[in-house]
Amino acid sequence: MAALPAKAEMAVSIYGGFQSAPHSEVEVSDEPDFTAGWEGKSFSMPPYYGARATWWLEDFGRPNLGLSIDYTHAKVYADDETLAESGWDHFEFTDGINLLTVNALYRFPIEGSRFVPYVGAGAGVNIPHVEVTRNGNETSEYQIGGPTIQTQAGVAYRFTDAWSAFVEYKGNYSWVDAEIDSGATLKTRILTNAVNAGLTYSW
């Protein structure tokens, strides 16, 4: 018996949008804990953006099931109230709380319609660029922050067999555990909420 090769629809997507994050508790090993208020500033440089590759499997009895690898350049800035409370001069993850995830996606084609709703969930790792200035000491470097989990839901509109556009909600919950100056550690949990718009090319 010959094994039949699996077929797949391949797709590459790029997106941008508006991203925010609610307050989160910050634990510092050598200072009192404090609550951080975050600003997303999605359209300030460097902007919020993302890209993903998706494989829609067709020969396993689940033609609408897909797997994706998703990269998101999310970011947060501590607001003025946070800096005043902590006494820090600078506190940001603005070269990214870079999120790399593997996800399962499921789409719901509507007969006779070009609109295709979809949902997804997955997990991966966050790679923050840690930017802290306090007491004359500075930290500015990429680190492996810890795990992240992701959910998403959206709708695509297919212009042609190859090109489509989409709008979606995407949320990530990230456990960030970072090292800062003087041998201290910083821990926080950051929930990023984003409304994305993007383009997809399929083949």
Specify the DSSP element, H or E, that contains 81.
helix 80-86
pLDDT digits (tens, 9 = 90+) for 150-202: 999 999 999 999 999 999 999 999 999 999 999 999 999 999 999 999 999 99
CA 3 to chain centre: 38
pLDDT category at 112 given cuts 50, 70, 90 is very high
Q: Give bridge partners of residue 93 from the DSSP assignment.
A: 76
Catalogue all structural domains in the chain, each as residue range(s) with its CATH number.
Answer: 8-202 (2.40.160.20)
Q: For 40, list phi and psi in degrees, rounded to 5.
A: -85, -40
Strands 24-28 and 34-36: antiparallel
Tokens read off for 36? 């951080």
Residue 64 to residues 102, 104, 136, 137, Cα–Cα distance (Å): 17, 11, 54, 52
73 has pLDDT over 70: yes
- For 40-62, what is the mean pLDDT? 92
Q: Answer whether 101's CB lies under 8 Å from 124's CB.
A: yes
The mean per-residue pLDDT over the stretch 109-120 comes to 97
Closest residue by Cα to residue 49 from 196, 165, 199? 196
Q: What is the pLDDT of residue 5?
A: 45
| pLDDT beyond 90 at 2 | no
Other CB atoms within 10 Å distance of the CB of residue 7 = 11
SS3 182: helix
The reported pLDDT for the residue numbered 62 is 85
Q: What is the pTM of this model?
A: 0.92
